[in-house]
Structure 1
Amino acid sequence: MSMVEGFERKALFNITRAVALVCVTVFLLGIVAAALYGTSVWKETVDTKVTPQEIVDPLKPAKAARTDPSQPQGAQPPANTGPAESPLAGFKIPFSLQKYASGDNAQVIRNHLNDVPEADRQQYLDELGAVVAAAEASKVAPIDAINAYMHTKSERYTAAAAKTAEKWGTLKLVAEVAAGGLLLVALFSLVLVLLAIERNTRHMRKAEVQTIRTASEQVVEA
């Protein structure tokens, strides 16, 4: 056996096997890390709940008399209106909110509800009712509190939507990394299998070559 053959059968085989094992181990650890990171990202949420204190406390300092805009920009003081079907029909309106949820105000609130997930709409009204009750108890203009709540709530839902989009983008990247890692693990596992087959069948091939060589020599002698 020549020096090259000895190096190939011993050193090169062992080096290749060690490298393949290290790569498989690293890729498996990478897949586990990606799975853990993906799980942590999946659990991240943006709380859209708004407490009355968040709205009322900034409004407590005395404010100058407001000048109502010529066109409604949000909730307005209740006005006398004739009987009409409320845009909020089908919802349970909190008692504290009822006198501010009529006429144009009802339509304004309904417009905001249209941007809220259907499952959260009743909670939206309940929170708004709690804000109005807290505003009245704190001597804060309820209309200002209603408008502030709508603005804050809209920002929360916008942030939640952005976070959801970011979450899905991150999870997609994690899935791609995990899939790539699995493919590489399969590739290096195949290398290990081929190396094992080559090592286990080496003596058989050597014996076969020796048999052919002996037969050839016998034919030549004959």
Structure 2
Amino acid sequence: MTYQLRPGLSFGFIGERAVLLDLDINRYFLIKAEAAQALRDLIAGTIDAGTIRRLPRPGGRSLLVEGSNGFEPVEAALPGSSVLEAEARVSAHLPFHHALRAQLEASASLRILGIKRSIAAWRRARPVDVGRQFSIETADHARAFALRRADVPIQRSCVPDSLALMRLLWRKGLDADLYFGVRLDPFAAHCWVQAEDYLLSDPLANVLSFSPVFRL
């Protein structure tokens, strides 16, 4: 029998601990060291009664279901720079209404559908034939969106802003990775967009303290 994470779950390791995101209920769970070690044992191929018993049960529900998609942790390249802080160059031309449309779509989706169904909708919308490699064109459009976003009369928030940037990149025939990440002690969560080790949505200092637990 093979197992996979229950749909809607993702996680990442932070030192000896782990943090799990359950999109079904839009909640993060801190996984303490013993249960996090059980996850590592599971990844290493140790699937026995003892390992299963030590696994966390977020919200009182089983972590695993039968399936073949596996249970790998979310990982990301450590950001090395941000395109928003790069040497000044001419940004791509982006009409204001393009940025406004993307931002309205993201904000309305989150308000009406919630985070889980919005993420599912974005997954369905992602082009299947576009790579996620960094390019100068990707950087130019990310900078252009950041400039236009300053004029959009909608309160800034990392999740809708990141979803809007993703939607805009797709319309330009480009792609990147969207991450949810956390930091501990004290707890905080953040969302950002990244291509390889280049940040597209944030200054570098905004992201370096966060560890990824979800990737779109």
Q: Higher strand proportion, which one?
A: 2
For the superposition of Structure 1 and Structure 2, which TM-score range results when normalised by the shorter chain? under 0.3
User: Who wins on radius of gyration, i.e. which is larger?
Assistant: 1
TM-score by length of 2: 0.17
Higher relative CO (Cα under 8 Å, sequence separation at least 6) belongs to: 1
